[in-house]
Structure 1
């Protein structure tokens, strides 16, 4: 069966004996398509689309999402999709639903900061996170986690060695006043054990899976089906990271926020600091 092509991306070589492309390659192809748009539009004067409460999208967000949806539409025409910019397509309770965040870190991008990510995830399945500027695509089939760069795949191995912990300071602060992520930055034990970083993009989750960060902390509600976080959560779980809410509960409908750590010791230390505030 000839490979189908969407833009620069072809499913040649990933069509199996039944003529069906692997979900993980669809996720990777979608993330790469979105990343190409984000990289190509970087530095241009972009229109802003107001989303309220100080949030906005740019024309790059919209164009990148369209490129991703084109990939999914060709490869998986019957699947539902939830896109950050275009909303729900297909049934929200569909058995197969893709979660798409075409440009995580829009505020960074809009001021010329390259710390952004492109997130594509099949709910409870394959996922990919692309860094448009490093050329890395972090991906998982739901069981193992890898990074692809220059056509070469390497397994992801989380490690706390860097001691760098990324703390997301963006609202909502649902656990306040008991716990606020910013409080970690002034905690003497945190300062003794770790070094804080704030990149304001879920790319930091991929960095935990890859050993570039020891942990990631953010407040919030149920992030398991969030277009911003679903791909990163899937990646970290497959890599062997410890993933819970800020309350220590499993991430899901009853969970709050995220504490993702490279290992159990790091996770335990962070949870002890967080529980001390809640």
Structure 2
């Protein structure tokens, strides 16, 4: 069983695994990528997702054989220690890979009773890695990571929009939210790679993220990195947001740099 003092060891395992998966994906995108539809909601899976997930599962379960795992493609693998659960997204941004857009990431998170304690995001295209352990801050390629407070400008904030694959095109709430954001923001990004949006928020490159009925596998790792860098994350009702539980429907949240949260919450409520 992992104790609090072992989280740095878990971070090293996760970082090494994410980088190895990233190298596999980067090499694979230089050739022909096999793309297969996954479900009827527009999602796809590639041979790179499957190969990277096998690598990540092998690394994580070798180091922590008693832990539970929820993986994007394999589903839930239950170990003896249900207190600790790894969430593995081998290729966040698969649709981008499928159309040749170099925006994707590898993500891992370790949760304790549904609450993220460790998060790792690796970007194969640039070879950059970001990570965080709860209460110990966030780290980027250049060292400690801090999101500067938001400073209002006349043109409005730069925001990212994340929605789950289960959200239908005519969903009235999603349409209303996106309309409000388009009116209030300088730009609204739809990256198809949520983990990269979280990292951009942690760096201060964007000002906020609105998530509507989002999935769970690609959420906790990026969320923790942003929070440890100083971002504020709440539910639509303004209460603290921490991912738990790891099952059930999609998650709704508002995340921002300090100083912008109340404005975004008011826009969402409206």
TM-score bracket for this pair, using the shorter chain length = 0.7 to 0.9
Q: Is the 8 A contact 1:81 1:89 kept in 2?
A: yes
Is 1:146 paired with 2:138?
yes
Q: Is the 8 A contact 1:249 1:255 kept in 2?
A: no
CA gap of 1:110–1:92, structure 2 versus 1, over 3 A, is: farther
Unaligned runs of 5+ in 2: none
Please tell me the root mean square deviation across aligned C-alpha atoms, in Å: 2.7
Q: Is the 8 A contact 1:173 1:220 kept in 2?
A: yes
Aligned to 2:118, which of 95, 115, 126? 126
Give the corresponding residue for 1:155. 144
CA gap of 1:233–1:21, structure 2 versus 1, over 3 A, is: closer
CA gap of 1:179–1:41, structure 2 versus 1, over 3 A, is: closer
Measured after TM superposition, the shift of residue 145 of structure 1 is: 3.4
Give the corresponding residue for 1:24. 11
- Aligned residue pairs total 248
Aligned to 1:238, which of 221, 228, 235? 228
Report the 3-state secondary structure (helix = DSSP H, G, I; strand = E; otherwise coil) of the residue aligned with 1:143.
coil
Q: How does 1:151-230 map to 2 (within 5 A)?
A: 153-159=142-148, 160=150, 163-168=157-162, 171-173=165-167, 176-178=171-173, 180=175, 181-187=177-183, 190-191=184-185, 194-202=186-194, 203-220=196-213, 226-230=216-220
CA gap of 1:71–1:256, structure 2 versus 1, over 3 A, is: closer
TM-score, normalising length from structure 2?
0.82
Report the 3-state secondary structure (helix = DSSP H, G, I; strand = E; otherwise coil) of the residue aligned with 1:95.
strand
Unaligned runs of 5+ in 1: 1-17
The 1-side partners of 2:124 and 2:267 are apart by: 34
The 1-side partners of 2:80 and 2:222 are apart by: 21
Looking at both structures, which has the greater relative contact order when contacts are Cα pairs under 8 Å and sequence separation is at least 6? Answer: 2
Report the 3-state secondary structure (helix = DSSP H, G, I; strand = E; otherwise coil) of the residue aligned with 1:107.
helix
Report the 3-state secondary structure (helix = DSSP H, G, I; strand = E; otherwise coil) of the residue aligned with 2:62.
helix
Report the 3-state secondary structure (helix = DSSP H, G, I; strand = E; otherwise coil) of the residue aligned with 2:213.
coil
The 1-side partners of 2:19 and 2:208 are apart by: 25
Measured after TM superposition, the shift of residue 239 of structure 1 is: 1.6
Is 1:41 paired with 2:38?
no
